């Protein structure tokens, strides 16, 4: 059963949704969507104490260093934010990334990859690979690097693993996709079975994101839609997803596909939770628990 805090947050989301003007005859512009998404994320979560945030450039890509007190100097998590490849930023996700940094006990490099429609696929992947390569150039051993990301950033996390493998580059120690978006066509049953309870992600909205992200390209390209990739040889995965998500089947299918490919994979489904509920860190116990699990998993993998 969801906590009182989770139910209160859900009630607030329903109120906001019901108060939102009908846009069926007017699609919001990209800038309007971006402004709304940034505002929504700003209300989510609590910035943890004892974390220093600074701007950097990683392989030519803007990024944030997020460094907790007493962070291990030789370990790092590269974080890839969500937003449908269209919206949000490293700054919008700084509270979630900082929570992961504190839970893991190491630095986080949060990557501000380029967004569509100005920069469609493969620009986000190109930037992710550049940032990962920069970490290697800085002297971080692959076994001391992890990659994590939420939603589109979760899909980008898996795509990065595939691209690294295909290029003959070393895999990181582990990866944590959070509510990953890996199917650009929305073929999972949960797109319909969870439509009545998911307050954030709808099929029609995803279709618009896809059109801008893929820009006429192949919706089955594994580096854009990792559901269609061969997952052989990728790093260990720890997948988290909410039980009330339309994207639930993206996570469950990713776990099954990775297991069949011989990957080390763990999946946690959190009952009654919404898309990327971890962003409510500090506001509800389910988010705190999920981030603590991520931290424990990564701390173990990065210390082997």
**Interval 31-51: pLDDT, tens:** 999 999 999 999 999 999 999
- What's the pLDDT score for residue 14? 85
For residue 94, cis peptide bond before it (omega within 30 degrees of 0): no
- What's the pLDDT score for residue 26? 76
Specify whether the CB–CB gap between 68 and 51 falls below 8 A.
yes
Specify whether the CB–CB gap between 294 and 24 falls below 8 A.
no
- What's the pLDDT score for residue 49? 97
- What's the pLDDT score for residue 21? 63
Mean pLDDT of the chain: 96
Query: Using one digit for the tens of pLDDT, what is the confidence trace for 269-279?
Result: 999 999 999 99
Mean pLDDT, residues 117-136: 98
Mean pLDDT, residues 191-204: 95
Q: Does residue 32 have an active-site annotation? A: no
Cα separation, 82 vs 178, in Å, equals: 9
Q: Does residue 272 have an active-site annotation? A: no
Mean pLDDT, residues 116-138: 98
Taking the model in full, what pTM does it have?
0.97
| Residue among 89, 128, 151, 251 flagged as catalytic | 151
Specify whether the CB–CB gap between 3 and 285 falls below 8 A.
yes
Question: What domains can you pick out in the chain, each with its CATH number?
Answer: 35-302 (3.40.50.1820)
Mean pLDDT, residues 61-88: 97
pLDDT of residue 24 exceeding 90, the answer is: no
Cα separation, 108 vs 146, in Å, equals: 9
- What's the pLDDT score for residue 15? 82
Tell me which of 16 and 222 has the higher pLDDT. 222
Cα separation, 172 vs 140, in Å, equals: 10
- What's the pLDDT score for residue 244? 98
Percent of the chain scoring above 70 in pLDDT: 98
3-state secondary structure the chain: CCCHHHHHHHHHHHHHHHHCCCCCCCCCCHHHHHHHHHHHHHCCCCCCCCEEEEEEEECCEEEEEEEECCCEEEEEEEEECCCCCCCCCCCCCHHHHHHHHHHHCEEEEEECCCCCCCCCCCHHHHHHHHHHHHHHHCCCCHHHEEEEEECHHHHHHHHHHHHHHHCCCCCCCEEEEECCCCCCCCCCCHHHHCCCCCCCCCHHHHHHHHHHHHCCCCCCCCCCCHHHCCCCCCCCEEEEEECCCCCHHHHHHHHHHHHHCCCCEEEEEECCCCCCHHHHCCCCHHHHHHHHHHHHHHHHHHCC
Q: Does residue 3 have an active-site annotation? A: no
- What's the pLDDT score for residue 47? 98
pLDDT band at 22 (very low <50, low <70, confident <90, very high): low
Estimate the crossing angle of helix 285-302 against helix 4-19, to 10 degrees.
Answer: 110
| Residue among 81, 93, 121, 275 flagged as catalytic | 275
Tokens standing for residue 117: 């429609």
């Amino acid at each position: 059963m969801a906590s009182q805090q989770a139910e209160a947050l859900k009630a607030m989301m329903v109120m906001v949704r019901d108060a939102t003007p009908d846009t069926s005859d007017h699609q919001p512009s990209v800038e309007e969507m971006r402004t709304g998404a940034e505002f929504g994320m700003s209300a989510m979560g609590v910035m943890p104490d004892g974390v220093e945030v600074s701007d950097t450039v990683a392989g030519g890509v803007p990024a944030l260093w997020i460094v907790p007190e007493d962070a291990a100097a030789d370990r790092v998590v590269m974080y890839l934010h969500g937003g449908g490849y269209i919206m949000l930023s490293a700054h919008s996700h700084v509270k979630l990334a900082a929570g992961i940094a504190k839970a893991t006990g190491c630095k986080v490099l949060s990557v501000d990859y380029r967004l569509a429609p100005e920069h469609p696929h493969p620009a986000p992947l190109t930037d992710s690979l550049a940032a990962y390569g920069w970490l290697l150039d800085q002297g971080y051993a692959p076994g001391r690097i992890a990659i994590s990301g939420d939603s589109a950033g979760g899909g980008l996390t898996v795509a990065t693993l595939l691209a690294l493998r295909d290029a003959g580059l070393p895999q990181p120690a582990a990866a944590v996709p959070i509510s990953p978006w890996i199917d650009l066509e929305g073929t999972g049953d949960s797109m319909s079975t969870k439509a009545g309870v998911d307050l954030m992600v709808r099929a029609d909205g995803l279709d618009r994101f896809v059109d801008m992200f893929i820009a006429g390209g192949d919706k089955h390209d594994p580096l854009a839609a990792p559901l269609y990739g061969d997952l052989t040889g990728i790093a260990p995965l720890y997948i988290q997803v909410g039980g009330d998500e339309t994207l639930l089947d993206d996570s469950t299918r990713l776990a099954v596909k990775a297991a069949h490919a011989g990957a080390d994979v763990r999946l946690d489904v959190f009952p009654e939770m919404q898309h990327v509920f971890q962003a409510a860190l500090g506001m509800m116990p389910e988010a705190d628990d999920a981030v603590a699990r991520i931290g424990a998993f990564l701390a173990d993998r990065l210390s082997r």
